[in-house]
């Protein structure tokens, strides 16, 4: 082990606006593990909030970054195009649904969501968007207006941009199948009522929805609800935008979560796991939609950065190699079974287990219990975090290359932490 590095940035010079999951100062990482300045190793089941899809410092990604950094770091796309830009777009076109044909690159999920909204407005000539209760689309001014998972993302920022309308999202926690169907129907009726009473369809450019809500608690959208949205969009010339920022690039056991549904979006927003930690995002859309974007009306200094594109191409190679999707599904099934076992053992404490692939959540009745479990896991060197407006759900989003032994270790730690928290 190398000598322990010294942190050189005084904490007093950093803004306090970041919320902190832990107080750990990490200096290195490998696979599903991070190492602190004190030399302690932790299982990282946050993966940088579902960003480190290939784990920390995957050798193929590291080598791609190193090689590209020796060629050219920044080839700004207005000035000239580097030789990885089109190959990455071609690769994404192969992986996304057939309707998604062309791509624009930016840096972050929120930036890509804003670009998607801007694209939808230009393509339709309309000014409004509809989002869904419990959504998270970012924390910039527009995306904060589109985010309804927690009020803190909007605190002291009002008034936010106008033209954003919020429709109900089906809550299936504790519902039987018949009740679930009724809940989907209720929410579709609520959306139709919104379009009849509050925002006319002729003013709506897009519906923007996460196939699995992220910050909202890892709630998958019911298939019937997504089909209903597609039908309403088709009836009124509204674009359907799938926000796959957190669900994309193998996280749910398929390359994109929309593949779990028999629905094609008009626009997709991609980020997070796309480049294993390098800042890169993308908006993909039908060519007919992209062609409506006025040249020069959108852009960005760093979008499609050459080093980030190299990392993305290497990441995609790792995530699409034979057996990779099956690995995610198999480990997701094992994790789900373990969490369902905990629910059966603690039926009064555990409210729900839900999600897809390695994007799973276990929700507890008491948020205070949830906080104690997360703290107890951290004390045992497992990093987890919460989701939902009340912070009652614990979300599991390990690197997609996590091993079965590492998963079993994390499950064992979690079971012990649950027992400890419920005993308090």
What is the DSSP track for 314-373? HHHHHHTSTTHHHHHHHHHHHHHHHHHHHHHH-TTTEEEEEEETTEEEEEES-HHHHHHH
How far apart are the C-alpha atoms of 199 and 313, rounded to whole Å? 41
Q: Give the per-residue pLDDT at 267.
A: 98
A 10 A CB-CB count for 366 gives 15
Q: Which residues, including other chains, have CB under 8 Å from residue 39's CB and lie 6 or more apart? A: 1, 4
Using the predicted structure, report yes or no on whether residue 178 has a pLDDT greater than 90: no
Local confidence band at 286 (pLDDT 50, 70, 90 cut-offs): very high
How far apart are the C-alpha atoms of 21 and 30, rounded to whole Å? 20
What percentage of the chain has pLDDT greater than the value 90? 93
283: β partners: 104, 269
Q: Is 54 exposed, middle or buried (CB count within 10 Å of its CB: 0-12, 13-18, 19+)?
A: buried
Q: Do residues 55 and 32 lie in contact, with contact meaning Cβ atoms separated by under 8 Å?
A: yes
Among residues 292, 246, 284, the alpha carbon closest in space to that of 266 is found at 284
How large is the average pLDDT for residues 245-266? 97
For residue 74 the two structure tokens come to 């920044």
How far apart are the C-alpha atoms of 285 and 206, rounded to whole Å? 13
Q: Give the per-residue pLDDT at 10.
A: 54
Give residue-wise pLDDT tens across range 296-331.
999 999 999 999 999 999 999 999 999 999 999 999
Using the predicted structure, report yes or no on whether residue 191 has a pLDDT greater than 50: yes
Q: Which residues of 197-234 are buried (b: 16+ CB within 10 A; e: fewer)?
A: eebebeebbbbbbbbbbbbbbbbbbbebbbebbbebbe
How far out from the chain centre does Cα 211 lie? 10
Give residue-wise pLDDT tens across range 392-406.
999 999 999 999 999
How large is the average pLDDT for residues 209-235? 97
Using the predicted structure, report yes or no on whether residue 6 has a pLDDT greater than 90: no
Using the predicted structure, report yes or no on whether residue 5 has a pLDDT greater than 60: no
How large is the average pLDDT for residues 338-364? 97
Local confidence band at 342 (pLDDT 50, 70, 90 cut-offs): very high
Using the predicted structure, report yes or no on whether residue 422 has a pLDDT greater than 50: yes
CATH 3.40.640.10 positions along the chain are 63-319
Query: What rounded mean pLDDT belongs to the chain?
Result: 95
Weakest-pLDDT range from 14-23, 142-151, 379-388: 14-23
Using the predicted structure, report yes or no on whether residue 272 has a pLDDT greater than 60: yes
Give residue-wise pLDDT tens across range 25-69.
999 999 999 999 999 999 999 999 999 999 999 999 999 999 999
Pick the CATH number of 63-319 from 3.40.640.10, 3.30.70.270, 3.30.465.10, 1.10.600.10: 3.40.640.10
For every residue of 112-126, which 3-state class applies, written as one string?
Answer: HHHHHHHHHHHHHCC
Please report which helix (H) or strand (E) contains residue 394, including its range.
strand 393-396
How large is the average pLDDT for residues 352-356? 96
How large is the average pLDDT for residues 72-83? 96
Q: Give the per-residue pLDDT at 7.
A: 42
For residue 362 the two structure tokens come to 């276990």
Q: Class assignment of domain 11-57+323-423?
A: alpha beta
Q: Give the per-residue pLDDT at 8.
A: 42
How large is the average pLDDT for residues 95-105? 98
Does the predicted model carry a pTM greater than 0.75? yes
CATH 3.90.1150.10 positions along the chain are 11-57+323-423
């Amino acid at each position: 082990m190398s000598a322990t590095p010294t942190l050189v940035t005084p904490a007093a010079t950093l803004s306090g606006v970041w919320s902190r999951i832990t107080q750990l100062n990490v200096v290195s990482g490998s696979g599903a593990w991070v190492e602190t300045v004190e030399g302690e190793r932790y299982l990282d089941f946050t993966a940088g909030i579902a960003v480190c899809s290939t784990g920390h410092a995957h050798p193929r990604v590291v080598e791609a970054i190193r090689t590209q950094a020796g060629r050219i770091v920044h080839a700004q796309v207005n000035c000239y195009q580097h030789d990885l830009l089109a190959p990455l777009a071609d690769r994404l076109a192969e992986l996304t649904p057939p309707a998604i044909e062309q791509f624009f690159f930016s840096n972050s999920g929120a930036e890509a969501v804003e670009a998607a909204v801007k694209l939808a407005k230009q393509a339709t000539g309309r000014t409004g968007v509809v989002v869904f209760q419990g959504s998270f689309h970012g924390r910039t001014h527009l995306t904060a207006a589109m985010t309804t998972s927690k009020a803190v993302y909007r605190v002291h920022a009002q008034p936010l941009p106008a033209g954003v309308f919020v429709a109900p999202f089906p809550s299936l926690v504790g519902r039987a199948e018949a009740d679930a169907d009724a809940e989907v129907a209720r929410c579709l009726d609520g959306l139709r009522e919104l379009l009849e009473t509050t925002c006319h369809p002729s003013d709506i450019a897009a519906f923007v929805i996460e196939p699995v809500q992220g910050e909202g608690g890892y709630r998958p959208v019911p298939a019937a609800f997504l089909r209903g949205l597609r039908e309403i969009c088709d009836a009124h010339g509204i674009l359907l935008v799938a926000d796959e920022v957190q669900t994309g690039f193998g996280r749910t056991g398929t390359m994109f979560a929309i593949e779990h549904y028999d629905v094609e979006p008009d626009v997709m927003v991609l980020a997070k796991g796309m480049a294993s930690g390098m800042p890169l995002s993308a908006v993909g859309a039908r060519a007919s939609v992209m062609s409506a974007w006025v040249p020069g009306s959108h852009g960005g200094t760093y979008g499609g950065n050459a080093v980030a594109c190299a990392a993305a191409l290497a990441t995609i190679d790792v995530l699409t190699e034979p057996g990779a999707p099956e690995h995610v599904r198999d480990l997701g099934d094992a994790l789900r079974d373990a969490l369902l076992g905990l629910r059966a053992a603690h039926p009064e404490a555990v409210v729900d287990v839900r999600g897809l692939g390695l994007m799973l959540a276990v929700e507890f009745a008491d948020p205070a219990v949830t906080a104690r479990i997360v703290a107890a896991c951290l004390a045992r060197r497992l990093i987890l975090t919460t989701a939902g407006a009340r912070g009652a759900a614990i979300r599991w989003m390990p690197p997609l290359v996590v091993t079965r032994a590492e998963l079993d270790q994390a499950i064992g730690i979690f079971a012990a932490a649950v027992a400890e928290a419920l005993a308090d």
